[in-house]
Amino acid sequence: MKGIAVAGTILVDNLNEIERYPNESELVTVKKITKAVGGCVPNVAIDLKRISPENEVYAYGKVGDDDNGAYVKGVLKSEKVDISGISLSSDMTSKTEVMSVVGGQRTFFTYPGASKDFGFDDIDFDKGDFSMLHLGYFLLLKKVDGGDGLKILKEAKRRGIKTSIDMVSRVSTDYGFILKCLEYTDNLIINEIEAGFLTGMEPKKENLAEMTKKLLGFGVKERVIIHMPKLAVLRTSESYIVLPSYKFPKEKVVGTTGAGDAFCAGALIGIYKNYNDDEILSLASSAALVSLRSADATGGVVSEEEIKKYCENLERLKLCL
């Protein structure tokens, strides 16, 4: 079994904890500022390595020749992620200001920076020994969105590499370039807002079944997985699974910044280890749950064994669809 590559967005998160969002022209005090790695590549790569330390994980992306770039590479290296695929850009390292209400949702203000220049030529398919490639985030990578994403996925599929993609919850006038990529995507892992953008449907739980069916019809080869705060669903050509989220006291939620990427990493590990679809969705959901214990994107994620132990006595919500 070969390793897993994660390609795309690399940035630094400045996490600003606030009590509430201000009204226009109003001042609200930032209670705490924390610096952390962020973006698809650091978040998912670190989570993959923590959940399953025995697997090789390769990072592909671009950073600036600056302190933030050195910081990202240092963190990834300390987590035993292979950083040989990270190249330097003439632009500064991408960064995001995260405004996070403790125990609540978050808002992002991002500077595209070096990541916008990441593309097909930055992945040496002959160098990394990987059997899976996860590419994200679409709508945040200029060259990937401009056609390189499709080229990357086509080349991966030509080489027999299993592919998966993710995107950001960003309003766009055109999602067609992402839809074209689905024919070369084995596993689509997104949230309900992003699924709504791609399908043109309202992102509510009553529409999840039809959304997944529509997305599978666009060409996704193996699975469409959609996650939202209260549940997650998985559809293949043969089955449709719904899994409610865990009951978890709001006062125990430190941050939600990394929940989506932790869910994605859990799903990828399950797919990589050939788990059945119920097990894939369960591990993804459990990984997202433990991530809520930290304000940054990766701090709460632990090994698969520890995740299962933490969640074994927790109950799940009862939902009606």
- Taking only the tens place, the pLDDT of each residue in 287-308 is 999 999 998 889 999 999 999 9
Mean pLDDT of the chain: 95
% of the chain surpassing 70 pLDDT: 99
Q: What is the pLDDT of residues 244-286, one digit of tens each?
A: 999 999 889 988 889 999 999 999 999 999 999 999 999 999 9
| pLDDT at position 49 over 90 | yes
In this structure, the dihedral spanned by the alpha carbons of residues 222, 228, 232 and 235, taken in order and rounded to 10 degrees, is: -30
| pLDDT at position 100 over 90 | no
- The Cα 99–Cα 15 span in angstroms is 6
Q: What is the pTM of this model?
A: 0.92
Non-local (6+) Cβ contacts of 108 within 8 A are: 96, 97, 98, 99
Pairing of the two strands 57-64 and 3-8: parallel
Task: Report the pLDDT averaged over residues 104-114.
Answer: 85
3-311 CATH choice from 3.40.1190.20, 1.10.150.120, 3.40.630.30, 3.30.70.120: 3.40.1190.20
Tokens standing for 46? 């670190």
Determine the straight-line distance between the first and last CA of the chain, rounded to whole angstroms.
38
> Are 48 and 268 contacting, i.e. CB atoms less than 8 angstroms apart?
yes
Q: What is the pLDDT of residues 207-250, one digit of tens each?
A: 999 999 999 999 999 999 999 999 999 999 999 999 999 999 98
| pLDDT at position 107 over 70 | yes
Q: Please say whether the dihedral angle defined by the alpha carbons of residues 49, 55, 56 and 59, taken in this order, is positive or negative.
A: negative
Q: What is the pLDDT of residues 75-90, one digit of tens each?
A: 999 999 999 999 999 9
| pLDDT at position 319 over 90 | no
- The Cα 130–Cα 238 span in angstroms is 28
Tell me whether the omega of the peptide bond preceding residue 137 falls within 30 degrees of 0, making it cis.
Answer: yes
Pairing of the two strands 82-89 and 94-101: unpaired
Give, for 44, the enclosing helix (H) or strand (E).
helix 40-51
Among 116, 132, 152, CA closest to 39: 116
Number of C-beta neighbours around residue 228 at 10 A: 17
| pLDDT at position 321 over 70 | no
Tokens standing for 263? 């869910």
Tokens standing for 283? 């591990």
